[in-house]
Amino acid sequence: MGIKIFTDSICDVPDEYVERYGIRVMPLTVNFGDESFKDGIDLTLMEFLAMLEKSEVLPTTSQVPPAEFFKAYREEIALGNKVISIHGSSQLSGTYNSAVMAKEQIGEPDIHIIDSMGVSLGAGMLVIKAARLLEEGLEAIEIVKEIEASKEKMKYFFILDTLKYLQKGGRLSMSASMLGSILNIKPILTVVHGKLELSEKSRGMKKAISSLLKTIKENGWSLDGKIVGINHIADPEHMRLLEEELKREYSIKEIIRGEVGSVVATHGGPGAVAVHFEI
């Protein structure tokens, strides 16, 4: 009996890791009016951003329905596999709850559902960690225990070009959104108890990156010897700058690089970079 690792597309696991570890990614849906697209399947990020630019209204996003999890889990169970399913924060998406509903319908104890309480590559790093623990020979229950502990230590920081998309999508208040629209202010978001919160703000992307490194230092978090995730929304230049600054400051063990998917980009908008790490 094997173990199959599942996740969803808002965890932004880079394709190379999906392929390397045989991770099964359940795509959310992006809706432009009457047109619907599977995240990461029907649209590339650049195609999505081109549509976003032309759209008069913000596209909506839909969670993975329970029926899709039911079918996928049943397939793995039929093959004799156990399932570990790690998903984006239940505070930001209903996909985790869909997975739980499917597990309850099947009534199979060898399906383990984890609410990462995170989003984007930070949550994806938990998925990659689970896959690596599996390679090391850990049993399902041991992997679940490790990931449940790790999720409490994950830190997420997103530097956005604007907060207007998060505000339009109802993920952030109008008052918080307005802070980012004055004098080239770049808001820095973090994740607290599974929800997005405005951490601080800086004028310009370079100063925002410097401010972010200062925050890491002030909290006493060392990235020496750590695995760090960095990703972006159509802004590879600033992601490279972020990587350079991190490497200048710390002896990082490994950097996992990625691009944000369409669902997260719906709310983040173009021109964003992020860093994720476990303390």
Give the pLDDT confidence of 154-163 residue by residue, as tens digits.
999 999 987 7
First to last CA, the chain: 33
- Is the pLDDT at 177 greater than 50? The verdict is no
User: Is position 227 within any domain?
Assistant: yes
Residue pLDDT, tens place only, 220-236: 999 999 999 999 999 99
pLDDT digits (tens, 9 = 90+) for 6-55: 999 999 999 999 999 999 999 999 999 888 999 989 988 889 989 888 88
Alpha-helical regions (H) of the chain: 15-21, 45-54, 66-78, 95-106, 121-135, 140-151, 164-168, 174-179, 205-218, 236-249, 262-268
Domain region containing 23: 3-28+63-151
> Are 132 and 180 within one domain?
no
Are residue 260 and residue 177 in the same domain, yes or no?
yes
Q: Which of the four pLDDT bands, split at 50, 70 and 90, describes residue 174? A: very low
Q: Are residues 126 and 214 in the same domain?
A: no
Shared domain for 146 and 267, answered yes or no, is no
Angle at 57 between CA 69 and CA 95, to 5 degrees: 15
Give CA–CA dist 173/96, Å, rounded.
Answer: 24
**Which tens digits make up the pLDDT trace of 265-279?**
988 888 999 999 999
Note the pLDDT of residue 164: 72
Residue 175 lies in a domain: yes
The token duo for 269 is 């908008």
108 with 195, same domain: the answer is no
Give the end of a domain, one of 151, 169, 190: 151
What share of the chain in percent tops pLDDT 70?
93
- Write out pLDDT tens, residues 87-129: 999 999 999 999 999 999 999 999 999 999 999 999 999 999 9
